[in-house]
Amino acid sequence: MLDFSSLLLAAALSGTCLSVTMFVIWFTAPRARFVLTVACGILVLVAHVIVFWRYTREPSPLLCQAALALLSLGFLALSLSAMQYLGMRNYSRAVLPAMLAMAVCAGVTYLGFDGVGFILTYTTVTVLLASIGVMFWIKGGQDRGILLVVSALSGVCGVSFGLCGAVLLVKGQWVLGVAPDNWAERLNSVVAVACMTALGALTLSLHHLQAQIELKAETLTDPLTGLMNRRALNSLYGERVFGPFMSIAMFDLDHFKRTNDVYGHPVGDRVLCRFAAIIKKYDRVGVDAFRLGGEEFALVMSRMPQDKAHDLASKIGVAFGTEVVPTPRGPLRSSVSGGIGFGKEDGSSLEDVLAEADKALYAAKHAGRNRVLVLNQVSKADGPALRSA
């Protein structure tokens, strides 16, 4: 059976391997900052284990303070990595209380109450682990299954540290002079090694899942404008049935080829981005904007009557007509034409509604551009030019 020192060395070895693995992953994917924070946190915990192992052999106040400080810092780093992964930026809510607890712990340990220092540190670590568990429990998304497992492991590990502090508290061991050695400490060593190993593996899974999500987002996003692309349109609405309160407005920037030829492609890109910025302002629940390619855009509108859909598309056209893009050849004002296709009572496919919107767009171009049109039942275009011209 392993003795206490062997358990500590096993924890140090396991933590070192995990840390090295995390650093390698981060070097291959620098944007995964939470992986770097995990690696640093585990490395600090490895340093704690080594210092604590040394303290068990040669007790001294300095080694005691260093071991306790490293333990709190390591789990603080893991807590911050959880906040990074979940997109939480209020780091001070974790850092300030932890640093305050570390300062109090250093003070009481310096005064000779090392048992109190251990109790305070174990309490701090328990709170940090509990906060990790709560954050992952509440913030679950596409990776909720993995996050719930992380939450459970954090809770188990936190309980093991809480037991260590509880044993010292119940026994009233305010002054130790040596490293605590009891059943809770031994249990904690085993649980900590197991949980840290499992958490390391889950961190790999979270990184892999996050990479997949980012890759999918990139394939569904137009890199110039930041809008969703045609692939995203097919992915979101390819299997949808379009009823009478669903519609698609197709937009085409007027004389865009001339803009590129006269002003240059960089100016053309700026014009595209200006229109994208305007259409994004109307992007809300039930309204999704897409760049289909070139100077073509689409707006899918759900749960919206036909007159409201036409008004919304017209507002976008009017707003774009007021935009002025400065160029070396002078200010540039552009316009846009649009056509709207509507779903039917008995349901329409994405292709059907796009085809109707495309016909209406062609009619708007043929009618003089700078307008948003709808084809009526006899296939005639109706609608005046936009007032922004």
Q: Angle formed by the axes of helices 114-138 and 144-171, to 10°?
A: 160
Whether 274 has a pLDDT exceeding 90, the answer reads: yes
pLDDT band at 64 (very low <50, low <70, confident <90, very high): very high
pTM for this predicted structure: 0.61
Structure tokens at 382: 């109706």
Whether 137 has a pLDDT exceeding 70, the answer reads: yes
Contact 364, 338 (CB under 8 A): yes
- Average pLDDT, integer, range 309-333: 90
What count of other Cβ atoms lies within 10 Å of the Cβ of residue 305?
Answer: 13
> Which one has a higher pLDDT value, 220 or 234?
234
pLDDT band at 380 (very low <50, low <70, confident <90, very high): very low
Single-letter code of the amino acid located at 205: S
Query: Residue 383 has what pLDDT?
Result: 44
Burial of 385 (C-beta count, 10 Å sphere; 0-12/13-18/19+): middle
- Average pLDDT, integer, range 277-286: 86
> Which one has a higher pLDDT value, 19 or 241?
241
Task: Quick: pLDDT tens for 164-204.
Answer: 999 999 999 999 989 898 899 888 878 877 777 777 667 76
C-alpha 98/C-alpha 117 separation (Å) is 14
Q: How far is CA 142 from CA 86, 138, 191, 203, 300, in A?
A: 12, 13, 28, 15, 24
> Which one has a higher pLDDT value, 206 or 381?
206
Query: Residue 387 has what pLDDT?
Result: 43
- 58, 185, 218, 295: which one is catalytic? 295
Whether 228 has a pLDDT exceeding 80, the answer reads: yes
What count of other Cβ atoms lies within 10 Å of the Cβ of residue 137?
Answer: 16
Geometric angle at alpha carbon 81, from 78 and 84, rounded to 5°: 160
Q: Which long-range contacts (CB under 8 A, 24 or more apart) does 78-82 make?
A: 78/37, 78/38, 78/41, 78/42, 78/128, 78/132, 78/199, 79/128, 79/129, 79/131, 79/132, 80/37, 80/41, 81/34, 81/35, 81/37, 81/38, 81/41, 82/34, 82/131, 82/132, 82/135, 82/136
Whether 389 has a pLDDT exceeding 50, the answer reads: no
185 classed as catalytic: no
